[in-house]
Structure 1
Amino acid sequence: MKKLITAEDLTQIVSVSHPVYSPDGKKAVFTKVSVNEKKDDYNIHLWVRDEERGELSQWTFDDGKHHQPAWSKDGKQLAFILQKPKEVPQLALIQSDGGGIRTLTNIPYGVSQPVFSPDGAFIYAAVSLKQEESVHDEKKEERDDFAPAVYDDLTYKADGRGFLDGRLTQIVKIDVRSGEVEMVTSESHHHVNHVVSPCGKWLAYIQSNPQTFYISDICLLSLEDGTSKKITQSTGAYTTVSFSPNGESLLYIGHEREFENATFLSLWLHDLKEKKTVQLSEMLDMYVGNCMAGDSVMGEANQLPQWTKDSQGFYALVSDQGSTGIYYFSIEGLAYPVRLEAEHVTNFSLHPDESKMLISRLSPVSPSELYELTLGESSLKQITFEHDDFLKEHVISEPEPISFQSKEGDIVHGWLMKPAQMEEGKTYPLILEIHGGPHAMYGHTYFHEFQMLAAEGYAIVYINPHGSHGYGQMFTDRVRGSYGDVDYEDVMLAVDHVLEAYDFLDETRLGVTGGSYGGFMTNWIVGQTDRFRAAVTQRSISNWISFYGISDIGYFFTKWQIDGDIYDSVDKLWDRSPLKYVKQVNTPLLILHSDEDYRCPVDQGEQLFVALKELGKDTRLVKFPKASHDLSRSGHPGQRIQRLTFIQEWFREKLS
């Protein structure tokens, strides 16, 4: 008899990701992220596949996080970031022919993003420093918890990092033999996602001003004389940069903010000799990158495009219509899908002989595993089998695709997940799930929350309404300035569509939930209709006026998304605020919020709770201490289980 999935089963989910072939193609390293035995944190371990024997071996064992692996060009050394429990991350090395781990740095402020120089003599890495701090400090200064905090800048806090203290991300150069550390950058900017040119003479990176972090530039620094120059014009936002193998071109991913944060990421190619830039993906109305919403992927790394040896093309991730896969792009701008199936590819590595790839992949009925893809073939060879026993022992519900026409005439896509166990002639409650963003995408991935609810006896409908990625730039941009209009129509039409299409659904037992923007939509829905018998709002927005000043992104996000500000558009912000309609709420509402959520701060949930409670409405507030906006995806394992349990019990009580 197979078991039904529970909230606690979350601890059995392993993220297998970040494959990287060695330069000679004889080995491939990858990471496994799992919940530790105490269930209070995660372990990340390095595993290596011997490509000739097909054997897997574990290279790191102790508790902690061993990740961001990088091979030296000769393949003899593997650098990675080692973070022991309750310690800051440091740079470590391991020899590919065996031997123990050698910790190379002892920088009290931590290290990240290791990149080898072509000759293997140095590693370039990132360090977060205040102006008065040095990589040669022996320890951090003791913090006075009672000292006043003084801020002069607009950007003074960030979700997941808390209240900022003036630290900037700088690039350092570390001697592999001696461990000696030398500063490479020192400007009052952040310098991230650096790469070294094949000749070893140049460093490319993304630079941003901490006060306008939503604007960034691609920069090139000479490692010979220390001079630097901007490739871009301080008008866009960029995420990734890489050199072509011949060193003649810079490829970077980003956009020029034509639709602010709703703008699709694009591919840009800069000729270093001619100093000319072309947009390669201009005719491709797809999102370059991975924008999949989910709760079962942890420890993901930034995916660099993978160049072919002849420098005439490269492979990159692309998201489209609920799938995330791999496209090939030529430097002339031609593009075709290498693999774009009903699945979620998170990372990949191209073998040096260009015959195959290793990909980390999820499907709607399986968490992530590692697979081998032979180029030119459609079948996959599975490499890891982390979830075989889990999938054999449990009932997994497979979602069915749905589609319907919106009121504006567009086709809206989504899925209906049936209850894990069903009896003939019996009817079942339906829960509407709404993703965050709003510019994210539901799709063909494993979603543990959905599987748990299906095991509880619910059907789940989830769609990509207007505002979602994956359906073209205009579809994504449509929701800006009109939250609660066309998007509200879409999700309500989705409910109507499945109620008509599936006769086992009980239209009198409807639930709704979502997080972030999905939390806003949940709040909005219960203020507009009484159709739902129960609702759970998570890390939500209830008041755009207060959000403007208390969110780490409020002052620009509100302008971009609601098209208003607190100076000249207060009426518009209030009109789009769910709090305005609180007297109309009759649906029992559970409010889940993280205490240290600086993206959608906890006061958003508290304001809503106080108003509902004062009016005598059926509501409950649950706060998670020390948790951030990312609780459901990468938070404390115990709190993630508790969050799922609260959702489960609320719907169980209200929809029975």
Structure 2
Amino acid sequence: MENLKLKDFLDYKFISNLEISPNGAKTGFIVHKADYDNNNYQSNIWLLDNTTKEYSKLTGLNEERSFLWLNDSTILFPATRDKKINEKVSQGETWTSYYAIKINGGEAEKYMDIPLTVTAIKAIDEDNFLLTAKYDNYRTDINSLTGEERAEAVKKFQENKDYEVLDEIPFWSNGGGFTNKKRNRIYLYNRAEKKATPVTSELMAVTYFSYKDGKILYVGNEYEGKMEQREGIYCYDIASGKTETLLPKKDFRVSFAEFIGDTVICSLNDCKEYGLNQNPSFYTLKDGEAVLLKKHDTWMLNTVGSDCKYGGGKGYRVVDNKLYFPTTVNKDAFLNSIDLEGNETVLTKANGTVDVYDVHNGKIVFAGLRGLRLQEIYDVVGEEEVQLTKFNENVYNDKKLAFLEKCNFINDAGMEIEGWVLKPTDYEEGKTYPAILDIHGGPKTVYGEVFYHEMQVWANMGYFVFFCNPRGGDGRGNAFADIRGKYGTVDYDDLMKFTDIVLEKYPIKADRVGVTGGSYGGFMTNWIIGHTDRFRCAASQRSIANWISKFGTTDIGYYFNADQNASSPWVEHDKLWWHSPMKYADKVKTPTLFIHSEEDYRCWLAEGIQMFTSLKYHGVEARLCMFRGENHELSRSGKPKHRVRRLEEMTNWFEKYLKD
């Protein structure tokens, strides 16, 4: 077996958008692979035969990133293959082209051109579609113009690329660019008439939608000036063209809403006990009121971290009068179901993650991470899982991998904290080694016992790698996750005690230990270097330096900071500064590398620059590597060359300071 290398992730296969055909015979899914030379990802549709379990590639142009089943034998997918349409888009028109391909073979053929930038789509029948699309309140509809009027509009469109005019917050979003007065809007599209009919208003931002028997159920937030963190639930009747408010936008954050029969089931968070990050509970709606179905103390999401996923899929599904959903418990993400009696069932038993899934006539198929295996597709048969694919089996069989060792401990509050250690893959008794503490983001996410490329690379290079789930993380209920107003205190205590225990238990050179983390982990890295000099070096990624500047510059700052810090710049201003790592930058002695993306609007570039400048001002060795064209997701879905450079920068930094 050979050592796992830094660039080996370029050969990994990532699975997303898993959907079973209407008749249950086939499962479609997307397989992605990094293309280093072209600095993008090759994405193609694959099919799994649910009877024979054989699987094969359906498309081959490497740009099919999503799809939907039109019927049992035909798949639709968006693509940019039409030069004329592409030219129109370059001139400011909005179009999304869909192609149809038969699953039994043949070339894909143009099916329809929708005059919108589609974000999600569902087929009602072969001519009628329900979709969401981007709507810009300040954009001129160039699609409908001709002659001189069109020429003038195209000229204005090109000129306006030099400007951004802001009059609301948030005005940008991570991964979405500038979003001022832009909304995700619902439309009905008729293919025969080539007509798109808007369902929601110009200022309604739709966050979730579903369809049943001529009715569109959706979650939306209508706002102007400032978006508040509350949503309403609405139902649009296609036949009458009327919208009914089922739950007013007032008291709740709403994750989703679905029909089970004639009943609406939804997840709601009233934010009263634990703020914005409070775990939502299941409700049904009756006469404009929310009726509690079952209180929940876990998030209805897969929050187990890994740098080996790409793309997504549908999170909530209603099948046979049950709602299916993922949820994170401790270190694992499971698939669960719940019925209208509040009976909840855990459907997957094995540790790891359920990343994407579908259900048909009681049959469950999912893609996820299991142990040190990268993503594969599995059948759920009773309480057993059967692995169906072997896209990444060579990594498991041919590469040296470090196996996780449990290293749980009891913190100062008497809580058991989960932790793990990876030994160097070529570990020898009697030798001592350098080590790296890796801190997860969120903070409401978790580390699990799954494959993490960067950690495996470092273990293969002769490092101990250790990580844990300190207070503030997901999977253990609201009280454990609630660190509002405590950032850098109880979580810091957990991380430092964990470090003490690991150094005591393992043959690690105490003066050759580094620390890294991204997002919240970047905040903690910045915080740590201002409160201890026990780490020889640090790599701070997409970090937070100053809660005051983050409040006014980031896509979530004005509400997330106020909630998580229990203060604002005008209420307990000093508290925001007290929790800011920049306040303690004059105490830093640790050489620190900063990794930041130019278009990271979640933890904006200014955060990294402030901390970098502070260290340089005080004579501390520091380096900042800024990535153009990337956002907060650099380490997970950034361009391949950028992901390589990021990991090279970090690894070289550790090699410089941690190796003799």
TM-score (norm: length of structure 2): 0.91
Query: Cα distance, 1:52 vs. partner?
Result: 2.7
1:135–1:76 distance in 2 versus 1, CA, 3 Å? farther
2:622 is aligned, of 619, 622, 626, to 619
Verify the 8 A CA contact 2:169 2:227 in the aligned structure 1: no
Q: Distance between the aligned counterparts of 2:499 and 2:535, measured in 1?
A: 10
Name the structure 2 match of 1:422: 427
Give distance in 2, aligned partners of 1:147 and 1:316: 43
In the other structure, the counterpart of 1:23 is 22
Tell me which residue corresponds to 2:100. Answer: 93
| Stretch deviating more after TM superposition (553-562 or 212-221) | 212-221
CA 108–121 in structure 1, closer or farther in 2 if over 3 Å, else same: closer
Name the CA distance, whole Å, in 1 between partners of 2:110 and 2:294: 42
In the other structure, the counterpart of 2:7 is 8
Q: In 2, are the aligned partners of 1:65 and 1:84 still within 8 Å (CA)?
A: no
User: Which piece of structure 1 moves more, 33-42 or 454-463?
Assistant: 33-42
C-alpha spacing 1:103/1:254, structure 2 compared with 1 (3 Å) = farther
Q: How many Å separate the matches in 1 of 2:140 and 2:109?
A: 25
- Deviation (angstroms), 1:646: 0.6
* 1: CA distance, partners of 2:42 / 2:318: 28
| Matching residue's letter, 2:459 | A
Q: For 2:168, give the aligned amino acid.
A: D
Structure 2 counterparts to residues 180-579 of structure 1, below 5 A: 180-197=195-212, 199=213, 201-209=214-222, 211-212=226-227, 214-234=229-249, 235-244=251-260, 247-258=261-272, 259-270=274-285, 277-282=290-295, 284-307=296-319, 309=320, 311=321, 313-352=322-361, 354=362, 356-374=363-381, 376-378=382-384, 380-477=385-482, 479-502=483-506, 504-579=507-582
Structure-1 residue corresponding to 2:595: 592
2:487 alignment partner, SS class: coil
173-182 or 382-391, which moves further after superposition?
A: 173-182
Shift of 1:99: 3.8
Query: Deviation string for 1:32-63 (max 9, x for gaps)?
Result: 12113624111221111122332212222113
Distance 1:134 1:76 in 2: 36
Q: How many residues align?
A: 636
Contact between 2:299 and 2:474, CA under 8 Å: does it hold in 1? yes
Measured at CA, do residues 84 and 597 of structure 1 come closer, stay the same or move farther in structure 2, by a change above 3 Å? farther
Q: Assess, with a 3 A threshold, how the Cα gap between structure 1 residues 445 and 219 changes in structure 2: closer, same or farther.
A: farther
Mapping 1:91-240, distance limit 5 Å: 91-107=98-114, 109-117=116-124, 119-131=125-137, 132-134=139-141, 136-137=143-144, 141=154, 142-144=157-159, 147-177=162-192, 179-197=194-212, 199=213, 201-209=214-222, 211-212=226-227, 214-234=229-249, 235-240=251-256
Q: Which amino acid aligns with 1:116?
A: A
Equivalent residue letter for 1:481: G
Inter-partner Cα distance in structure 1 for 2:646 and 2:426 = 23
TM-superposed deviation, 1:78: 2.5
Greater mean deviation of Cα atoms: 226-235 or 569-578: 226-235
Per-residue deviation, 1:153:
1.3
- Give the direction of change, closer, same or farther, for the CA distance of 1:334–1:409 in structure 2 (3 Å limit): same
Assess if the C-alpha contact under 8 Å between 1:544 and 1:576 holds in 2: yes
SS at match of 1:106: strand
TM-score relative to the length of structure 1: 0.92
Moved over 6 A (4+): 85-88
CA separation of 1:137 and 1:406: change in aligned 2, threshold 3 A: farther
Distance 1:368 1:265 in 2: 28
Q: Deviations over 1:161-218 (max 9, x none)?
A: 2222422212222234564433333342112432111x2x200112123532632222
Q: Counterpart amino acid of 2:523?
A: F
Distance, in Å, in 2 between the alignment partners of 1:107 and 1:601 is 34
Instruction: String of CA shifts for 1:313-371, please: whole Å, max 9, x gaps.
Output: 3332111010001123221112232213221111211122x1x3111011241111111
Q: Is the 8 A contact 1:63 1:84 kept in 2?
A: no
Q: d(CA) in 1 for partners of 2:397 and 2:242?
A: 58
Deviations 1:478-536 (A, max 9, x none): x111111000000011111222232x222221111001111110011011011111111
Equivalents in 2 of 1:263, 1:180: separation in Å?
42
**Could you tell me how far apart the structure 2 residues matched to 1:391 and 1:137 are?**
55
Report what 1:50 is aligned to.
Answer: 49
1:292 aligns to what SS in structure 2?
coil
**CA distance, structure 2, for counterparts of residue 268 and residue 92 of structure 1:** 39
Cα 1:292/1:390, change in 2 over 3 Å: same
Greater CA drift, 505-514 or 35-44: 35-44
Rounded to whole Å, the distance in 1 between the matches of 2:196 and 2:161 is: 33
Residues 131-150 of structure 1: per-residue CA shift (max 9 Å, x gap): 35559548994332674432
Worse overlay, 82-91 or 449-458? 82-91
Extract unaligned runs of 5+ from structure 2. 90-94
SS at match of 1:65: coil
Q: Distance in 2 between matches of 1:53 and 1:232?
A: 46
CA contact (8 A) 2:40 2:640 kept: yes
Aligned-pair RMSD on alpha carbons?
A: 2.3
Asked whether the 8 Å contact 1:81–1:112 carries over to 2, the reply is no
Counterparts of 1:164 and 1:276 in 2: how far apart (Å)?
Answer: 32
C-alpha distance in structure 1 between counterparts of 2:653 and 2:442, whole Å? 25
Who is 2:92 aligned against?
none
Quick check: 480-489 or 557-566, which moved more?
557-566
The structural deviation recorded for 1:3 is 2.1
Residue identity opposite 2:453 in structure 1: H
Q: Partner of 2:256: helix, strand, or coil?
A: strand
Query: Percent same amino acid among aligned pairs?
Result: 29
Compared with structure 1, are the counterparts of its residues 278 and 446 closer, same or farther at alpha carbon in structure 2 (3 Å cutoff)?
Answer: farther
**Aligned pair in 2 of structure 1 residues 580, 61: CA closer, same or farther (>3 Å)?**
same
Residue type at the aligned position of 2:292:
Q
Name the structure 2 match of 1:79. 76
Verify the 8 A CA contact 1:60 1:66 in the aligned structure 2. no
CA–CA distance in structure 1, aligned partners of residues 352 and 63 of structure 2 = 30
Deviation at 1:596, TM superposition (A): 1.6
Report SS of the residue matched to 1:66. Answer: coil
Deviation at 1:25, TM superposition (A): 1.1
Task: For residue 22 of structure 1, report the CA deviation from its aligned partner.
Answer: 1.4
Deviations 1:83-139 (Å, cap 9, x if unpaired)?
Answer: 56988753333344544323344346521311111x443111111122355595489
In structure 1, give the amino acid aligned to 2:252.
G
* Structure 1 match to 2:32: 33
- Mapped partners of 1:193, 1:38: distance in 2: 37
Aligned-residue offset at 1:275: 6.0
Aligned equivalents of 1:107, 1:120: Cα separation in 2: 14
**CA distance, structure 2, for counterparts of residue 287 and residue 533 of structure 1:** 36
| 1:538, distance to aligned residue in structure 2 (A) | 0.5
Give, as a single letter, the amino acid of the residue that structure 2 aligns with 1:493: K
Change (3 A) 1:524 1:285: same
**How far 1:402 moved relative to its partner?**
2.2
Whether contact under 8 Å (1:66, 1:83) holds in the other structure is no
